Amino acid sequence: MTIELNGYYTLILATLVLLLGRFLVVKVKFLSNFNIPEPVAGGLVAGVVVYLLNLLFGLTFQFQQQLQTAFMLMFFSSIGLSADFSRLKAGGKPLVVFLMVVAGYIMVQNTVGVSLAAMLGLDPLIGLVTGSITLTGGHGTAGAWGPVLENKYGVVGATTLGIATATFGLVAGGLIGGPVAKYLIKKIHHPRLPQISAQTHLESVAAAQSLYSTRHTETDDRSNDAMFDKPDEIRLITASSAIETMALFAGCMAFAGVMTTVAKGSIFELPTFVWALAGGVIIRNVLTHFFNFDMFDRAIDVFGNASLSLFLAMALLSLRLWELTSLALPVMLILAVQVAVMMMYATWVTFRVMGRDYDAAVLAAGHCGFGMGATPTAIANMQAITDRYGPSYKAFLIVPMVGAFFVDLVNASILQLFTQLPFLQ
């Protein structure tokens, strides 16, 4: 028996899932240590409850999809609206080089996933789900690509698998970053770098605070907010600024709707959420660089973060865990290989290309964080290293900018390229 829930009840249940997730993250140390997002913590419990109801009583639930889609588009619009390309100039050549290193790894990550999926007799598109869709992209990208793969390409259980894989990636990214960096630091003959003053360390972390956006943390974890969202002067979000920000989101979503229709059937056909992201990039950079418009980043962050939380809660309520029983073993094998590949790439490519020095070792730890999980995991990895060995201004400048602003743009482009490959059609 299927129970249909309208938008009101869908929203009510989503908020209850978020409240449950917040409670679990506060009470369960493991969840907070590995930056597990509150929507994921609560949503997975809700998913298990839905699974048990289906197993015991044959019940399934159908939630309001339009509301979920709207929140998804708002989240990706917020990514685009935060992507000011002047920040590339501010980061200089090292930021561009690191972005190229990250792009190269996304290609490797997807190649490994697709190849192993094909070897194990799975749909090659599952390789993208166990590749950059979830590991570099995180829960938001997993939830967005899931319906596309299910409805357009017929990949059964893509959303459910994506959420599970993204959660695995958060934990794995937090586990491997520290050991990789420590190995590299010993390799450059600095088994114990001299400690630098606490004030210098705080100044280094302050560089990240001024650039890091809580919007793209892929979590509503209040510990992250406290760490990265307390500048000296905070602009208050007023009713006027909220309306102004909603107008920007509306422009992005309208652009996405128009372009999805116009580009349908052409070589420029893209998922709607990619057009929302692109619309945000265009609106942001046109308004700021041609009209000197003062974008209210804090309001964009708040709206985007709230949208992501509600979208993930709704997506997790719709999990169909019974669709994954046959995929568990091969998927775990693919993920184990992905972890090993991430560690090797960070050691042999990221570290070497970024200069083979202490900063490069910290960058490698950060790359492990958002290459497998999300930006908060990358920051946590780097802080663990710098707390012990000393600060790295370069790493704290580059990683938040790449992880929070530019990696999603690159990932969306590469994923679109992979989905167009003939053997994946």
Average pLDDT of the residues in 325-336: 84
Give the per-residue SS3 of the chain.
CEEECCHHHHHHHHHHHHHHHHHHHHHCHHHHHCCCCHHHHHHHHHHHHHHHHHHHHCCEEECCHHHHHHHHHHHHHHHHHHCCCHHHHHHHHHHHHHHHHHHHHHHHHHHHHHHHHHHCCCCHHHHHHCCCCCCCCHHHHHHHHHHHHHHHCCCCCHHHHHHHHHHHHHHHHHHHHHHHHHHHHHHCCCCCCCCCCHHHHHHHHHHHHHHCCHHHHCCCCHHHHHHHCCCCCCCCCCHHHHHHHHHHHHHHHHHHHHHHHHCCCCCCCCCHHHHHHHHHHHHHHHHHHHCCCCCCHHHHHHHHHHHHHHHHHHHHHCCCHHHHCCCHHHHHHHHHHHHHHHHHHHHHHHHHHCCCCHHHHHHHHHHHHHHHCCHHHHHHHHHHHHHHHCCCHHHHHHHHHHHHHHHHHHHHHHHHHHHCCHHHC
Residue 60's beta-bridge partner residues? 2
Based on C-alpha coordinates, what's the Rg of the chain?
A: 21
Average pLDDT of the residues in 97-105: 94
Q: What is the pLDDT of residues 32-73, one digit of tens each?
A: 776 677 888 888 888 888 888 888 888 888 888 888 889 989
Distance between CA atoms of residues 271 and 412, nearest Å: 10
Residue type at 365 in one-letter notation? A
Which of 273-277, 345-349, 413-417 has the highest average model confidence (pLDDT)? 345-349
Question: Tokens for 19?
Answer: 């409240």
Greater pLDDT, 206 or 24:
24
Q: What is the pLDDT of residues 177-213, one digit of tens each?
A: 888 998 898 887 544 444 444 444 444 445 444 444 4
Q: How many residues does the chain have?
A: 425
Distance between CA atoms of residues 406 and 24, nearest Å: 31
Percent of the chain with pLDDT over 70: 85
Q: How many CA atoms lie within 13 A of 146 on its CB side?
A: 28
Average pLDDT of the residues in 128-157: 88
CA 413 to chain centre: 15
Please state, in angstroms and as integers, the Cα–Cα distance from residue 382 to each residue in 25, 56, 186, 281, 390, following that order: 22, 46, 16, 28, 10
pLDDT for the residue numbered 220: 37
In the predicted model, what is the mean pLDDT of the chain? 81
pLDDT for the residue numbered 66: 87
Average pLDDT of the residues in 323-338: 83
Residue type at 70 in one-letter notation? A
